[in-house]
Amino acid sequence: MKQSDNPVWFYNEFRQVGTDFNDPAVVAAYDRNQHSSTVEAEQALVEQLGITAGDTVIDLGCGTGTFAIQAALTGARVHAVDVSQPMLAYARQKAIAAGLSDRIRFHHQGFLTYNHNAAPADFVITQAAMHHLPDFWKMVVLLRIATMLRPDGVFYLWDTVFSFPPSEFQAHIEAWIARAAKPTGEGWTVTDFETHVRDEYTTFSWIIECMLEEAGFVIETVERASSVITAYTCRKKCSS
Ligand SMILES: C[S@@+](CC[C@H](N)C(=O)[O-])C[C@H]1O[C@@H](n2cnc3c(N)ncnc32)[C@H](O)[C@@H]1O
């Protein structure tokens, strides 16, 4: 599906909000800045989820492709989806260097526009990407993800999720920025985190958890790295 196939009220997910992942300089610095997406971390996630040869895996908002590559190394068929052409070009080069270009299909589409025209997925993964959408559109995306998965298939969501008491927002946001921001050249900076909070769409945990259930998922594990980051491993209910 292309953006132009949708009604005029439909969200334009190709317009970058917050950090501009269409900027080649942001893309080139990404693997240095994103400390959660190292090869070791993505390999551990592949093992934790139990991805093996023959599985069909969809990575939504794949970025520079580190997870997609580690998943493909198991022999899985991987669909790597992103709205940023520069991100996809960078990820494709990494896949070619790893000898995996025939095992990963790259799609210049997004959460709201990717059409999965292949075997139902065993796993759908999205990390650090869904917060680019407002809540209404996140709900639409969760319904779409449920249709991409086979019954009992696994949906893994890692993202910024606010699990602090809402009235304490100021202290938690300021503590997060103070703790996580790095000097320029070493990681995401204070300005990057400020942009994230101001312009992007992190959701409260109690809202996203209701949305996951409403979309037909059972939440099997909740890993709260902090009051601002959570990973959910969910399973699509057989009946949905
Ligand atoms: C912070 S990066 C995360 C990349 C990777 N998943 C990781 O964990 O390192 C966010 C990615 O989501 C992509 N993105 C933003 N909005 C999107 C959308 N609506 N659909 C798909 N990808 C999107 C951006 O282009 C960017 O590559």
pLDDT at 2: 67
Q: What is the pLDDT of residues 25-59, one digit of tens each?
A: 999 999 998 888 899 999 999 999 999 999 999 99
Q: Is the pLDDT at 131 greater than 80, yes or no?
A: yes
- Ordered alpha helix ranges (H), the chain: 24-33, 39-49, 66-72, 85-97, 135-148, 169-180, 190-199, 205-214
pLDDT at 116: 96
Q: Are 189 and 116 in contact (CB under 8 A)?
A: no
Q: Are 158 and 127 in contact (CB under 8 A)?
A: yes
Q: Is the pLDDT at 182 greater than 70, yes or no?
A: yes
Band of pLDDT at residue 1, cut at 50, 70 and 90: low
Residue where the block lists tokens 């940023």: 84
CA of 135 to the centre of ligand 1 (A): 16
Instruction: For a ligand 1 pocket test, name from 17, 23, 132 the mutation site with the most ligand atoms within 8 angstroms of its C-beta.
Output: 132
**Residue 216 burial class via C-beta count within 10 angstroms: exposed 0-12, middle 13-18, buried 19 and up:** buried
Residue 74: half-sphere exposure toward Cβ, Cα within 13 Å: 23
Bridge partners of 154? 123, 235
Q: What is the pLDDT of residues 95-122, one digit of tens each?
A: 999 999 899 999 999 999 999 999 999 9
* Range 3-13+20-236: architecture per CATH: 3-Layer(aba) Sandwich (3.40)
The reply to whether ligand 1 has any atom less than 6 angstroms from the CB of 21 is yes
Parse the chain into domains and list their residue ranges: 3-13+20-236
Chain mean pLDDT for the chain: 95
Handedness of CA 202, 205, 210, 215 (dihedral sign): positive
pLDDT at 3: 66
Q: Is the pLDDT at 240 greater than 90, yes or no?
A: no
The reply to whether ligand 1 has any atom less than 6 angstroms from the CB of 87 is yes
Rounded (10°) angle between helices 85-97 and 24-33: 50
Q: Is the pLDDT at 65 greater than 90, yes or no?
A: yes
Q: Are 76 and 55 in contact (CB under 8 A)?
A: yes
Q: Compute the average pLDDT of residues 215-234.
A: 98
> What global pTM score does this model have?
0.96
Q: Compute the average pLDDT of residues 144-159.
A: 98
